[in-house]
Structure 1
Amino acid sequence: MTDAEHLHRLVQETDWYNSIVLDALLPSGWKQLPRILRTWLRNYIGINIVYFVSCFLWCFFIYHWKREVYHPKDYIPSNKTILLQIIVAVKAIPWYSLLPILTEYMIEKGWTKCYCSINEVGWPIYLTYVTIYLILIEFGVYWIHRELHEVKLLYKY
């Protein structure tokens, strides 16, 4: 497979991801939106779905179903506190939706080495790459989160 065919296959894969989310949720006229906007919209919708489903499951499990196991009676946060956390998260989601657009752009332009299939590289190398990637991501997220706590302008308390 030539480089051009490989990159075309990656672009088709992104279009397929976009169609999975957007075709079911948006009018057909939205297909004319620029590709980068459709990709951002796909990410935004997907992140919202993951956020609200996981929050619902967490709250149901921790605060209702297993209340006695994880929290004393008076320790459950108020609805106001929970709503404030939701508002903060919802304000951040549009910004979190931008980073995957940058990485997909870099992939589609051939600036990175991505594989369409595990068969292109083999299982041992693939698992090694995934392990290295997860270690780097977790390390980066930890330090970014830790450093954000040092920026006092971001916090009221």
Structure 2
Amino acid sequence: MIISEIQQEIIDEFNSFDDWQQRYEYIIELGKSLKGMKAENKTEDKLIQGCQSQVWLDVTKNDDKLFFDADSDAILPKGILALLVKIYSGQPITDILKSDENFIQKIGLQEFLSPTRANGLVAMIKKIKYYAIVYSIKHE
């Protein structure tokens, strides 16, 4: 499935909830389903700066597609990571670079988050795009 279709699926899921409490619970459930990372992979270079909690993001490349592993020591950021991994993992590098993040506004996520958590969300997306840029340059 392409990025925009996955984003639309997430928008539809969020629109099916009556209130933010249900959306919040959904994000937490997503976080619980995130595979996480092995302790030895939670290194300083994989730590995302700008997040209130500790958040790690790792990437591997296979056939011009990026695959993300992510983890956090807090359940809400872990749920947000699960959303982002669902969208971007397994996608072609060029598609990641061309994608937009309008789905965040469409699901109202930034209004729901505290300013520090919203900054963390931006930092997570920037890190995903950063990895895509690095791998597009490395492997041209």
TM-score bracket, normalised by the shorter chain, equals: under 0.3
Provide TM-score, normalisation by structure 1: 0.25
Which is richer in strand?
Answer: 2
Provide TM-score, normalisation by structure 2: 0.27
Larger radius of gyration: 1
Which is richer in helix?
Answer: 1
